[in-house]
Amino acid sequence: MSHTELEAIFARFKESFPPTSEYTEGVTLKLTTDELTTMIEDFYPGIDVGDLYSLMTSHGYEYRPIEYNETVTFYWLVGRS
């Protein structure tokens, strides 16, 4: 799949799951890069997600550290429409 096709797929994702800058437990979704990549690849086998970090940040998504049970993990913050 081409980069153009990935952009079209991503545009649909963004409609339902817009970027957010605040994390609120139970309201904001948080996804690791691996989770996001796996989700896209599960729906579109064979797709090359390429530089997912640049794609996400260029669309306003934020990659933030979140502490849970004394462990810090980086997540993409994803809102719900």
Q: What pLDDT digit, counting tens, does each position of 51-73 carry?
A: 889 989 999 999 999 998 999 99
Would you say residue 11 has pLDDT above 80? yes
Helix (H) or strand (E) holding 36: helix 33-43
pTM of the predicted structure, to 2 decimals? 0.82
User: 38 near 32, Cβ under 8 Å?
Assistant: no
Average pLDDT, the chain: 89
Catalogue the long-range contacts made by 8-16 (C-beta closer than 8 Å, 24 or more residues apart): 9/40, 9/43, 9/44, 9/47, 10/55, 10/59, 13/40, 14/59, 15/81, 16/80, 16/81
Lowest mean pLDDT among 1-5, 8-12, 69-73: 1-5
The pLDDT assigned to 2 comes to: 60
